[in-house]
Amino acid sequence: MTTTVVELDADRVDALARFFADLGEGDLTFVKEDVSGPEAVRGWMRPGRQWLALDDEDDEDGEDGGEVAGFVAVLPLHGWSDHVGEIRLVVHPRHRGAGLGRTLARHALRRALDQGLRKVVVEVVADQEALLAMFSGLGFTGEALLTDHVRDREGGLHDLVVLAHHVEATAEAMRAIGLEEEIAPQ
């Protein structure tokens, strides 16, 4: 699968709304925003802070690529935590297991640097082991475990893990050993 990461703009809102509408109930449990349709998505759009992974390949009906395969956002916190950003990442089930989540997470880390953020956090439901492993492999470390913090749509309770990445410290270390190209925007 080949994908292109592009900034979310008004022209792609309908495609993103279709992406969310195609997710199963289990996935929607863990999406914080209202994704009930294009107008809801327009309501939380933030220019320069949200990106889509577009599937570049034609679908089985022979239609041109451009279907949304994933979504990532870097949302700065406010007030005394304005140096921290939160990553929100969703990959469509059809596109999981091929490295797209890692690509989007790396994109988010680079954009966090561009935004001047020093730290990023991501919240992951504790039983999502593959996602925890992916973020850990990117240098995120555990900061908190919140027991029974998430309630799914059936009423079941789940633990939530808060992972953090000190973006600026990692970037400085990479610059020190000559790996500037690894952190440069693509």
- Sheet of 119-125: strands edge to edge? 3-7, 50-55, 67-76, 84-91, 119-125, 157-165, 141-151
Taking domain 3-183, whether its CATH number is 3.40.630.30 is answered by yes
Least confident of 30-44, 89-103, 131-145, 170-184: 170-184
- What sign does the CA torsion over 174, 179, 184, 186 have? negative
CA 148 to chain centre: 23
Average pLDDT, the chain: 87
Domains in the chain: boundaries: 3-183
CA atoms within 13 A on the CB side of 27: 18
Go through 37-54 and write b for each residue having 16 or more CB atoms within 10 A of its CB, e for each that does not: ebeebeeebeeebbbbbb
pLDDT of residue 62 exceeding 60, the answer is no
* 63-83: pLDDT as tens digits: 445 799 999 999 999 999 999
Q: d(Cα 83, Cα 17) in Å, to the nearest integer?
A: 30
Over residues 1-29, the pLDDT tens digits come to 688 999 999 999 999 999 999 998 878 87
What is the biggest distance separating any 2 CA atoms in the chain, rounded to whole angstroms? Answer: 51
Give the pLDDT of residue 174.
58
